[in-house]
Amino acid sequence: MSYPIIQLSERRLQPDYEGPVFVWDVDKTYLDTDFKSIWGLLRIPLEMAIDKTIIPGTAATLQECRRGPGEHPVHTPIFFVSASPPQLAGVIRRKMLLDGLQPDGFLFKDQLQLALQGRFRELKFQVEYKLTAHWSLIADLPPGARLVVVGDDWESDGHVFHLLDATQRGDLAGDDLAAALLDAGVTPSSVDPMVDLAARATGRAQVMLACVILTRGRDPSYFDPYRPVVHAAREALQAAALFAEHNLVSPGGVARVAWRLRADWGWTEQQVADSLADVTARSLVAEPLIHQIREALEHG
């Protein structure tokens, strides 16, 4: 049974585009969406854009991802995946505009269709939705695009990104993919449609980097089995530094994220220093780049 999603595209990339494309999870990675309680779920559709709370530093990091690593902005494509219902598209778009962001498209979970089909378990279970959303987006992207996927540690994003990377490289397909999906908890009736969808996406828009932001506070070592593609960032500053390591953001851009964390979220100089020291200790970012970021912080 195919998974019901709503896809809203606001930018069509050129067929020969071979640059990075960010695919960023909205819930728990940009917006601090409450899925834990019934009250939180009921409140989601009632909130206005200005009432939405964001994860500290993510707006600044997204702005730098959009800008790119060079002196002049390159408007790197950014698409968003959300488990919120598509009826919230307008609210989320307005919130992003308030935060100075320019979304290129959205994918939403069609919760109404899931409920009408009696698929209540899948309202909260995310593996089927996120893989379907990514493979559906890939079908609309240039085949040479390079995916940068960003999620959180609340559910199974690390495993989802691992499966996505393996299928895009052609290392996981057919019966092996079907078995992996079942092991991941995918509903048996959804497996065949997902394998077919993955087959159409295989070889296109491969994953160059996956980042899981630890908004839940899970230990980074939990994601070690998914390396070298999947990396864990404790917060937005570490995510920005990781992106700079892969030439997606400039050292000055990482410094600007740190300044926004200090100005908007009350971070201290020591918190910034500790964050950068941690990504070096975990071998996510090389020391020469950290030196450049520190210089940008001192002379910006």
Distance between CA atoms of residues 200 and 138, nearest Å: 9
- Nearest to residue 66, comparing CAs of 58, 189, 41? 58
How many Cα atoms are found within 13 Å in the side-chain-facing hemisphere of 159?
A: 14
The C-alpha R_g of the chain, in whole angstroms, comes to 19
Q: Are strands 5-9 and 105-109 parallel, antiparallel or unpaired?
A: antiparallel
Question: How confident is the prediction for the chain on average, in pLDDT?
Answer: 90
- Nearest to residue 28, comparing CAs of 212, 158, 186? 212
From residue 294, alpha-carbon distances to 29, 173, 179, 280, 289 in Å are 25, 44, 47, 13, 9
pTM: 0.91
Question: What does 82-126 look like in DSSP terms, one character per residue?
Answer: ESS-GGGHHHHHHHHHHTT----EEEEE-HHHHHHTT-GGGGT--
Q: Quick one: fold of 5-234?
A: Rossmann fold (3.40.50)
Would you list the domain boundaries of the chain?
Answer: 5-234, 235-300
pLDDT at 115: 79
3-state secondary structure 232-259: EECCHHHHHHHHHHCCCCCHHHHHHHHH
pLDDT at 42: 41
Instruction: Give the mean pLDDT per block of 10 residues along the chain (300 residues).
Output: 84 95 92 54 45 84 97 95 86 90 92 76 80 95 97 92 96 97 93 95 95 93 94 97 98 98 97 98 97 92
pLDDT at 110: 82
